[in-house]
């Protein structure tokens, strides 16, 4: 599976859901809090047409937004089962 980076904030419920989804399926990921990393926030804004959409996931070389959280969309983007 491609390397996965999840761009989050500490207060975002959609971020919590996405991370839980990944953990339940054994999907390894690196988390970056955009409130602590200015360059990461700028990246999120750039790949989302100026919108601060979180979570934003980098899967290999592509970006996927999961805001609002959508388990079906995330399972499809990662090619993982919808149910653990």
* Residue 42 vs residue 2, higher pLDDT: 42
Sheet holding 56-59, edge to edge: 30-33, 4-8, 56-59, 62-65
Q: What is the pLDDT of residue 81?
A: 87
Residue-wise pLDDT tens digits, 2-26: 899 999 999 999 999 999 999 999 9
Q: How many helices (H) and strands (E) does the chain have?
A: 3, 4
Rounded-to-integer distance, Cα 45 and Cα 78, Å: 22
- The hierarchical CATH code for the domain 4-18+28-75 is 3.40.30.10
Type and span of the H or E element at 64: strand 62-65
- Residue 84, pLDDT > 90, answer no
Query: Hey, where are the domains in the chain?
Result: 4-18+28-75
Quote the Cα angle for 43-19-74, to 5°.
75
On whether the pTM is more than 0.75, the answer is yes
């Amino acid at each position: 599976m491609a390397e996965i980076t999840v761009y989050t904030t500490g207060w975002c419920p959609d971020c919590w859901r996405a991370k839980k989804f990944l953990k339940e399926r054994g999907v390894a990921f690196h988390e970056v809090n955009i409130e602590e990393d200015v360059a990461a926030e700028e990246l999120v804004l750039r790949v989302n047409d100026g919108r601060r959409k979180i979570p934003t996931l980098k899967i290999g070389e592509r970006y996927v937004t999961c805001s609002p959280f959508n388990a079906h969309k995330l399972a499809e983007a990662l090619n993982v089962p919808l149910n653990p």
